[in-house]
């Protein structure tokens, strides 16, 4: 099956659409892009770069389009569209410049309104399933790697508090983990043993489906970045440098199909528990 060529495609499509909209409000004025740029006091190519999505417009740029084209009533809508694009691609260095807590807190409203979670993780235990000690080990490494202020204790508290949604029998949770996520060590053997034991406990909840994809599974799909599908409204993908949010229905559909393909080769029930138990035993 096809996979998304890049999680950035929806972001770029929105940038192109915004540029097209700005071009469409300029054209009735009779000004060329060069003439508009001159009137705005820009370099002669700036309007062309904005309208062709090679440059993202600033708040002031959008204000000038609305003022000089005589459509000030469009300013609020255009600003909202531009800000939505900004939210689709958020660099970790911007989100985490003050530490990790803010990013954890930002997802709370999304978790609260989501009724169906579908989560695929190839290398780590998902945050909703993490013990405090495992989360602490993960966040400590993020702090060290990114050289950011260490507020990991506050961030761990928020992450654990968010897990209350797991106890809501009216929600549905589908988790798919690669076996490598069970075997990748974060923290001491005792921390990992407790984390894997916690997985066994959570898997018994009726609203939770936990699948483990064995390293020996016959692949019809291959591991990519981890991704979270929230209802059918959006997908969040975590990259090395940024968090990408996809809201375009066609792209959400691709991730949903990918999740279904991966779910088809996962092990559940006794076999999943056996894989988790084997990972515990491998800790020695």
Residues 175-200 pLDDT 10s: 999 999 999 999 999 999 999 999 99
pLDDT at 162 over 60: yes
Which residues are paired to 4 by β-bridges? none
Q: Where in the chain is the domain with CATH 1.10.260.40?
A: 9-88
Strands 208-213 vs 227-230: parallel, antiparallel or unpaired? unpaired
Q: What is the mean pLDDT of the chain?
A: 90
Domain 96-282, CATH homologous superfamily name and number: Endonuclease Chain A (3.30.870.10)
Between 7 and 227, the more confident residue is 227
For range 64-92, the mean pLDDT: 84
- Cα dihedral 228, 232, 234, 236 in deg (nearest 10): 10
Amino acid 224: pLDDT: 74
Specify the 3-state DSSP secondary structure of 144. Answer: helix
Amino acid 2: pLDDT: 39
In this structure, are residues 23 and 29 in contact, taking their beta carbons and an 8 Å threshold?
no
In this structure, are residues 262 and 210 in contact, taking their beta carbons and an 8 Å threshold?
no
Q: Where in the chain is the domain with CATH 3.30.870.10?
A: 96-282
- The rounded Cα 191 to chain-centroid distance in angstroms is 26
Amino acid 175: pLDDT: 98
Chain segment 10-44, per-residue pLDDT in tens: 677 888 999 999 999 999 999 999 999 999 999 98
Amino acid 8: pLDDT: 58
Domain 9-88, CATH homologous superfamily name and number: lambda repressor-like DNA-binding domains (1.10.260.40)
Amino acid 3: pLDDT: 41
Share of residues in the chain with pLDDT > 90 (%): 72
Q: Which of 191, 89, 85 is nearest to 132 (CA)?
A: 191
């Amino acid at each position: 099956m096809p996979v998304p060529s890049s999680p950035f495609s929806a972001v770029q499509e929105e940038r192109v659409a915004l540029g097209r909209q700005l071009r469409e409000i300029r054209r009735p004025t009779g000004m060329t892009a060069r003439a508009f740029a001159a009137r705005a006091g820009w370099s002669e190519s700036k309007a062309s770069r904005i309208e062709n999505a090679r440059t993202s417009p600033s708040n002031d740029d959008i204000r000038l389009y609305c003022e000089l084209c005589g459509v000030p009533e469009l300013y609020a809508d255009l600003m909202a569209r531009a800000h939505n694009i900004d939210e689709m691609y958020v660099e970790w260095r911007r989100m985490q410049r003050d530490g990790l807590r803010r990013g954890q807190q930002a997802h709370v409203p999304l978790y609260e309104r989501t009724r169906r979670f579908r989560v695929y993780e190839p290398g780590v235990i998902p945050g909703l399933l993490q013990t405090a000690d495992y989360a602490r080990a993960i966040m400590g490494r993020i702090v060290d790697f990114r050289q950011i202020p260490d507020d990991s204790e506050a961030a761990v508290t928020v992450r654990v508090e968010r897990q209350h949604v797991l106890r809501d029998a009216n929600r549905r949770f589908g988790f798919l983990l690669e076996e490598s996520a069970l075997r990748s060590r974060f923290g001491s053997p005792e921390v990992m043993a407790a984390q894997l034991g916690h997985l066994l406990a959570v898997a018994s909840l009726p609203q939770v489906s936990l699948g483990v994809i064995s390293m020996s599974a016959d692949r019809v799909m291959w591991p990519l970045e981890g991704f979270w599908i929230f209802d059918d409204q959006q997908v969040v993908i975590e990259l090395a440098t940024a968090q990408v949010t996809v809201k375009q229905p066609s792209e959400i559909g691709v991730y949903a199909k990918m999740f279904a393909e991966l779910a088809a080769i996962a092990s559940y029930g006794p076999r999943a528990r056996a894989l988790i138990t084997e990972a515990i035993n491998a800790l020695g």
